[in-house]
Chain A
């Protein structure tokens, strides 16, 4: 799966532009092992592995994913190593990270003092 989701960055003038050698490590997405390049943002590894839903909108329950890819929109917020609301498009992959989606619909959530299903 992970190689299908990867590209060779094109080499317009013959020289490789992705000359940095990548080291792949394993981290956990909802408890499932995922391979990612060390230091690349978590959202990138997840996307390459075919995981597109990174969480759910707190209000609507609709799936959310990466939108801007550079830390501006906060659509990619995830729980990483127990810390909520981490922007997964910025957060670099390290061996063994525990990455989880937030606000799963149906999970009991307290919003503005009201309990909702």
Chain B
């Protein structure tokens, strides 16, 4: 099979890019391994300043627009396992299907993945990532369990707590992850508490509980360390900011969690106790999936923890591998509106690569860049504050990159 443009990933970034390419007559193939297009949009549902963000509807809207272009094809249930440079373009191989696709330009829009929290017995059935519970409840209408617990503070943890409790799922609260041991990237107890700042502005239910408590480190520390053991009501459940999960319990499936108090410095104190739950959601944070980009030989910016590894990219999503573009969470963890603007920008990169004219579509590029800025300013959820700094470093690395002769 051949196509002008191959887009890997039918999330907000890939679909937005496909619409732009579709409009401009480019023969485009979008592949996704999930049986439903939309990527992580499908599970998103939260309040922002401008009202409810219901990702499934955004996805439906993007797909409806995409459906108008006979030159765009969508192939689901297809995992791209490799990309090889061939004859001036790229050949993609698939893991479940025979055959390959040759494309002149490839957009990698494979999104992000969750970082697990390895605590004792975490492989028991019923222990899952917070995103898995979101997918179950919001995408497929499947009840993750009768009573669960969320382990780890962060934007996704808080959003999913809100979503699950709205769906009528009982939660024993949101507790800290184990902060001693191998999970160094989870930071200190203060880092965990500070994540509340990234979400307090989100609508009345969130704000009521947390706004006055989180403004300064001084108060944050006192309020969090001094919270009652049963927690502070928030998000339809309770925040338990001085309680950490130290192990999961159960034989054939999870039947409980071992909890222990932590003090202001994050040290475990007192005796652990057991609480019964039949599911547990780990929220260790999100990281880009850099594998396909790295496989093309594109220059990567690597990080000490490995959690911030991304390809070095230019203003229209170009990487240092010719004909390879990237957009969305594969470039850093931000919300879907940012991914959509990045997808539109990357379509300009693809168009220029196909035509060989590096200056065309300048007005569109300027409009999409503005849209990206606006999306960043208005972002209702901040996942990881490190990304703005990393993106600044990448801008410099791109400007100073060694140019081909």
Contact = CB atoms under 8 A, between A and B. Distances in A.
Interface of A: 4-10, 12-13, 17-18, 22, 37, 39-41, 44, 47-48, 52-54, 57, 62-73, 75, 89-92
29 contacts: A5-B143, A6-B141, A6-B142, A7-B142, A7-B168, A10-B167, A12-B54, A37-B140, A44-B136, A47-B136, A47-B142, A47-B144, A48-B143, A52-B125, A54-B125, A65-B126, A67-B116, A68-B114, A68-B128, A68-B131, A69-B128, A69-B131, A70-B113, A70-B131, A71-B33, A71-B79, A72-B289, A89-B132, A90-B35
Contacts of A68: 113-114, 128-129, 131-132
A104 to B, nearest CB: 13
Given A7-B141, A47-B136, A65 B125 contact: yes
B382 interface: no
The interface residues of chain B, by DSSP majority, are classed as mixed
A63 B129 contact: no
B140 A44 contact: yes
Contacts of B129: 67-69
A67 B289 CA distance: 17
A19 B125 CA distance: 30
Contact of A39 (B35, B124, B136): B35
A63 B142 CA distance: 21
A40 B135 CA distance: 11
Contacts of B116: 67, 73
A101 to B, nearest CB: 12
Contacts of A92: 35, 77
Contacts of A13: 51-52, 54
B77 to A, nearest CB: 7
Contact of A9 (B40, B144, B167): B167
A57 B123 contact: yes
Given A65-B125, A75-B123, 6 more contacts: A7-B142, A39-B35, A63-B124, A68-B129, A70-B132, A91-B35
Given A68-B114, A70-B131, A52 B126 contact: yes
A85 to B, nearest CB: 10
B125 A70 contact: no
A72 B113 contact: yes
A44 to B, nearest CB: 4
B45 A17 contact: yes
B378 interface: no
A10 B138 CA distance: 8
Interface string B158-186: 00000100111100000000000000000
B167 A12 contact: no
Contacts of A65: 124-126, 128, 253
A53 B253 contact: yes
A12 B45 contact: yes
A5 B124 contact: no
Contacts of A39: 35-36
A117 B79 CA distance: 34
Contacts of B52: 12-13
Contacts of B252: 53, 63
Contacts of A7: 137, 141-143, 167-169
B71 interface: no
A68 B287 CA distance: 13
A18 B137 CA distance: 10
B47 interface: yes
A86 to B, nearest CB: 8
The 3 closest A-B pairs by CB, nearest first: A69-B132, A65-B125, A10-B166
Contacts of A41: 35, 140
A53 B132 contact: no
B54 A17 contact: yes
A50 B251 CA distance: 16
B141 A53 contact: no
Interface in B80-138: 113-114, 116, 123-129, 131-133, 135-138
